[in-house]
Amino acid sequence: MEYKIYVGTHLKIKKGLFKGTFKMMYCGMSNENTFVLSPLVTKGYQGFSPNIYYNVDSTVIQVMDVTFDVLEVTPNYIILGE
């Protein structure tokens, strides 16, 4: 499955068959060599959203115990594959 996430939008992603879901936001590129993803971590009424920085040359990344293939990175959107 492929996920196309635009800058500033949340996308709900399934962790596994019975493991639930989480939201992730693409925050764009902080410079020409780095892109930023921000998963939304919640438990009850509390939550936080850390910024995670990745190298543009990364082909495989891991977010919230889910591994993604990085298919395309631009300043406006990112395409991730599972």
pLDDT of residue 17: 66
Q: Tell me the mean pLDDT in the region 77-81.
A: 93
| Cβ neighbour number for residue 70 with a 10 Å cutoff | 18
Report pLDDT digits (tens) over 8-51: 998 888 776 666 778 899 999 999 999 999 998 888 899 888 99
pLDDT of residue 16: 66
pLDDT of residue 48: 87
63 — pLDDT class (breaks 50, 70, 90): confident
pLDDT of residue 58: 92
Which residue in 49, 58, 51 sits closest to 30, CA to CA?
51
